[in-house]
Amino acid sequence: MKVLSVVGARPQFIKAHPLHLALKERAYHVILHTGQHYDREMSRIFFEEMGIPEPDYNLEVGSGGHGEQTGRMLIGIEKVLLKERPNVVIVYGDTNSTLAGALASVKLHIPVAHVEAGLRSFDRRMPEEINRVVADHISNILFAPTHTAVHNLKKEGIVQGVYLVGDIMVDALYLHIKVAEKNSIIRDLGLKKKGYVLVTVHRAGNTDVEENLKNIVEALTELDYKIVFPAHPRTKKALERYGLLKTLEESKNVMITEPVGYLEFLNLLENSRMVLTDSGGVQKEAYILGIPCVTLRDTTEWIETVEQGWNVLVGAEKEKIISAVRSFRPTEKRTEIFGDGKSAERMANIILSLKEAGG
């Protein structure tokens, strides 16, 4: 059986890794990288240290408008699919690569499996939300990470081909955390364990809205905590554009750094006292690692983390951010809402069962 994974950025490689390990002895697994995001951490050391397989194809589409980027992906993915003729195509998450991979496959009548199906922020202003919804409605196999995701799909009339498998990021986290703990990022930055607050900001709703980014920056500089802020290149450009980068650089408590690799970030997250983020993935990783999370958004795909008392939504409101950092201290016991770290094995078994059924 031939299975093809479409990935477009570093997080998707990380999600694909556990599934690749579960498939590689039982199927021929082809990996197609659209090149949606150029990432300096996608170097040979990334693959060697983590054991992640390098892609068989790289379309190198680069950046561009949503329509332009997705269109270039569709052309490239279709050519690879016609050449490889896989039995199943796997797409991950909610990027333009996810959408393009699903669309190209379904038009060629190739079954599509969507990993992280059923996630909803219910905010159609987010391009990720559009990508999720469309991918779910054209996929044949929907791998839902949580009961909430299954419920979301049911509300939209999707009940066939839905499987509650747990979250593959739990698998990935367990797979990589021990390696992450060996890197020297904490020492290199002169940090003390549990002696700092970690910050990530990259969503367009914050970086492209001057008032929101200004509120976040002002909140960070007024806090009485050491702040570590690895700045995404697009975020750094926005900070410069709005005249806010100098404010951070001159503050006494904020350490703004270059972007860090996945392993370094895991180490920073695990040893932080709290994380402030607008990333869906970081919210989930924080919950799994037992790190209090303050989310710089009004909505979240991972509502379970809020319901469990380990995540609080504050948007980009300065006073709410400051108040949450000073007072938010989760006390509820965490449960395995995202699964037991064996979701990749479950997915592989379901995908391979298609062959037995003649799929």
For residue 126, the model assigns a pLDDT of 86
Tell me, yes or no, whether 129 lies in a domain.
yes
Whether 314 and 183 map to the same domain: the answer is yes
Whether 59 and 186 map to the same domain: the answer is no
Q: What tens digit of pLDDT does each residue of 203-215 get?
A: 889 999 999 999 9
**What residues are annotated to the active site?**
202
What does the block give as tokens for 336?
A: 């395995």
For residue 45, the model assigns a pLDDT of 60
Q: What tens digit of pLDDT does each residue of 240-295 get?
A: 999 999 999 999 999 999 988 888 999 999 999 999 999 988 999 999 999 999 99
For residue 37, the model assigns a pLDDT of 65
Tell me, yes or no, whether 334 lies in a domain.
no
For residue 40, the model assigns a pLDDT of 55
For residue 39, the model assigns a pLDDT of 58
Average pLDDT per 10 consecutive residues for the chain, totaling 359 residues: 92 92 95 77 63 88 83 96 98 95 98 97 89 97 96 98 97 91 93 97 93 97 96 92 96 94 93 96 94 96 94 98 97 92 97 73
**Sheet bearing 293-295, strands edge to edge:** 254-257, 227-230, 197-200, 274-277, 293-295, 311-313
For residue 50, the model assigns a pLDDT of 73
Number of domain units in the chain: 2
Whether 132 and 246 map to the same domain: the answer is no
Whether 217 and 313 map to the same domain: the answer is yes
Tell me, yes or no, whether 332 lies in a domain.
no
DSSP 30-93: EEEE---S--TT-SHHHHHHHTPPPPSEE----S--HHHHHHHHHHHHHHHHHHH--SEEEEET
Whether 7 and 78 map to the same domain: the answer is yes
Whether 229 and 276 map to the same domain: the answer is yes
Whether 149 and 230 map to the same domain: the answer is no
Sign of the CA dihedral running 74, 120, 284, 273: positive
Whether 125 and 242 map to the same domain: the answer is no
* Euclidean distance between CA atoms 176 and 173, whole angstroms: 5
* pTM above threshold 0.75: yes
Whether 310 and 197 map to the same domain: the answer is yes
- 142: number of Cβ within 10 Å: 26
Whether 13 and 162 map to the same domain: the answer is yes
Tell me, yes or no, whether 96 lies in a domain.
yes
Tell me, yes or no, whether 302 lies in a domain.
yes
For residue 356, the model assigns a pLDDT of 60
Whether 135 and 275 map to the same domain: the answer is no
| Domain that residue 111 falls in | 2-167+339-356
Tell me, yes or no, whether 174 lies in a domain.
no
**CATH code at 163?**
3.40.50.2000
